[in-house]
Amino acid sequence: MAARKRASASSDASAKPPRNEEAVKAEPKPAEAAPIDPPIAPPKLGFILKLSALFLAPYLYLILRHFDIDRELRRSILINAGLSLAGFFATVKLIPVASRYVLRRNLFGYDINKKGTPQGTVKVPESLGIAVGIVYLVLAIVFQYFNFTADSNWLVEYNAALASICFMILLGFTDDVLDVPWRVKLILPSFAALPLLMAYAGHTTIIIPKPLIPYVGMEILDLGWIYKLYMGLLAVFCTNSINIHAGLNGLEVGQTVVIAAAILLHNIIQIGASKDPEYMQAHAFSIYLVQPMLATSLALLSYNWYPSSVFVGDTYTYFAGMTMAVVGILGHYSETLLIFFLPQILNFLLSLPQLAGFVKCPRHRLPRFDPQSGLLTGTNDGTLVNFFLRAFGQKTEKSLCILLLLFQAMACGFCFLLRWLLAGWYK
Ligand code: UD1
Ligand code: MG
């Protein structure tokens, strides 16, 4: 279980949850445990609402005022947004309940960046991504009623996308409970992507960038099965890259929230600027899957933001990565998506020596925490978190997380700038 996972993770005996039956039996009985496992801290809703308003204002302005979007399409987007809002409140309610249940099954972790302080001894409920995943799936399934006709081609791909996301949630939760070895963990998303790859009936062609056409000798290239391989690899990359850019309170969900907001802005700008119904439908499809993810993720962030009262688990990181890969594939904007993922690409490149086994890879590649000063210092482990600490000096966990999220937002802004600069010239 996750408890086992963390036991192997830490060299500090005090940070080791029970590993075997005896140890579990030695745990206080639920009645005695009550004072040790108090209810989780209330959600930081004020902060989340302010953060949401920052995004919602321009987003709604683009949908309702700026672009002349087809009425039916706008209706579907707004119904989906309404469902997502309901999903936000449902997730906020569900997380404390689910927290009690996961704690009861010893699914908890210790906050490593607080080791040596009283907060570092608190059992933090783990894998709360499961609450997000369940609410998300219910919303996404129910939404079909409001949008698609029974014979729609989109319905097949939409359900294949949901099957992949659902399979990923299952495998992520399995990993949280069983503590799958790292190298097996890496390939789990390729299995989860199968429903989508098998059902995918869209085109397998790519448009050659204009500057390269004279060299390639064609405008459109059919990649055939290689395109499906690319789709599978994208799913493996998106899921794992979110999962390894982690370990600070709020970072896993925070990066997802920033990327999801950028995806939605991109989708609505593309819909607004296009007259091609199929192109608009592809981006609308992405909106239908990303809006509920953003809403449920914000609910999770209200508990996971510093100081975290719950951890998200690999259930969440895999779910978020797979959802974004799926919409990038089916919306045909995977290049844009990869630029949104710039910090994750950098983190992956920094991680390569350890992932490939050239350099020793400890269970946790986190910074060093000084309980006296409350500051984090970068270690030699190859992560963007450590790189930022080495480049910008010691930081508190919260300020480092904010800095990394600003960097994420800058990468998204850079992507929009690049698209604007290259428009018409590149494709
Ligand atoms: C990945 C990283 C690992 C990193 C971990 C943190 C690689 C190869 N693996 O492993 O280096 O340490 O994520 O999530 O890069 N935790 C905190 N504070 C947080 C979030 C998590 O202390 O804000 C700790 C808790 O003990 C929690 C555990 O990390 O229980 C979860 O780790 P897990 O998601 O299982 O690690 P991996 O995804 O395998
Ligand atoms: Mg993880």
Question: For ligand 1, atom 20, which residue shows the shortest CA distance?
Answer: 247
The minimum-distance atom of ligand 1 relative to the CA of 366 is 12
In this prediction the pTM is: 0.90
Retrieve residue 239's tokens.
């899921």
Specify the 3-state DSSP secondary structure of 110: coil
**What is the rounded CA–CA span in Å between residue 267 and residue 270?**
5
Best mutation site among 122, 252, 364 for ligand 1, i.e. most ligand atoms within 8 A of its Cβ? 364
Question: Is 382 close to ligand 1, i.e. is its CB under 6 Å away?
Answer: no
pLDDT (0 to 100) of residue 7: 40
For ligand 1, say whether the CB of 326 is within 6 Å of any of its atoms. Answer: no
- Answer yes or no: is 368 within a domain: no
Ligand nearest the Cα atom of residue 363: 1
3-class SS letters over 341-397? CHHHHHHHHHHHHHHCCCCCCCCCCCCEEECCCCEEECCCCCCHHHHHHHHHCCECH
The answer to the question of residue 365 being in a domain is no
Is residue 301 within 8 Å of 257, Cβ to Cβ? yes
Whether 265 is in a domain gets the answer yes
Q: Which of 11, 251, 252, 311 to mutate to test the pocket of ligand 1 (most atoms within 8 A of CB)?
A: 311
Q: Which residues in the chain land under pLDDT 70? A: 1-37, 148-152, 426-427
pLDDT of residue 427: 66
Q: Which atom of ligand 1 is nearest to the CA of 397?
A: 23
Asked whether residue 385 is domain-assigned, the answer is: no
* Contact 253 CB / ligand 1 (< 6 Å): no
Question: Ligand 1: does its nearest atom lie under 6 Å from the Cβ of 113?
Answer: yes
pLDDT at 31: 46
In a domain, 20, yes or no: no
Q: Are the beta carbons of 318 and 189 closer than 8 angstroms?
A: yes
Ligand 1: atom nearest CA of 124 is 30
Q: Please identify, by atom number, the ligand 1 atom nearest to the C-alpha of residue 355.
A: 8
Angle in degrees, CA 272, 273, 277, rounded to 5? 75
Ligand having the closest approach to the CA of 319 = 2
The set of residues, in sequence order, having a beta carbon less than 8 Å from that of 240 and lying 6+ positions away, is 185, 186, 189, 321, 348
Residue (of 238, 240, 247, 243) closest to 400 by Cα position? 247
> What is the structure's pLDDT at 11?
39
369 lines ligand 1 (CB under 6 A): no
311 lines ligand 1 (CB under 6 A): yes
Q: What pLDDT sits at residue 67?
A: 87
Residue 243 Cβ < 6 Å to ligand 1: yes
Q: Is the CB of 364 under 6 A from ligand 1?
A: yes
What domain range includes position 92?
Answer: 45-352
Contact 114, 369 (CB under 8 A): yes
Does any ligand 1 atom lie closer than 6 A to the CB of residue 304?
Answer: no
SS3 state of residue 125: strand
Which residues lie near ion ligand 2 (Cβ < 5 Å)? 243, 314
Ligand 1 lined by 114 (C-beta under 6 Å): no
Task: Examine residue 233 and state whether it is found in any structural domain, yes or no.
Answer: yes
Q: Which two tokens stand for residue 304?
A: 């996971």
CB 260 within 8 A of CB 242: no
DSSP string, 30-83: HHHHTTTSPPPPPP-HHHHHHHHHHHHHHHHHIIIIIS---HHHHHHHHHHHHH
3 state SS of 307:
coil
Nearest atom of ligand 1 to the alpha carbon of 179: 35
Pocket of ligand 1 contains residue 246 by CB under 6 Å: yes
List, in sequence order, every residue forming a beta bridge with 207; answer none if it has no partner.
220
Q: Rounded to the nearest whole angstrom, what is the distance from the C-alpha of residue 11 to the centroid of ligand 2?
A: 18
* Token digits of residue 260: 């999801």
Residue 112 CA: which ligand 1 atom is closest?
A: 22
The ligand minimizing its distance to the Cα of 253 is 1
Interhelix angle 251-273/397-422, nearest 10 degrees: 20
Burial (Cβ within 10 Å: 0-12, 13-18, ≥19) of residue 42: exposed
Q: How many domains would you assign to the chain?
A: 1
Write the pLDDT tens digit of every residue in 85-113. Answer: 999 999 999 999 999 999 999 999 999 99
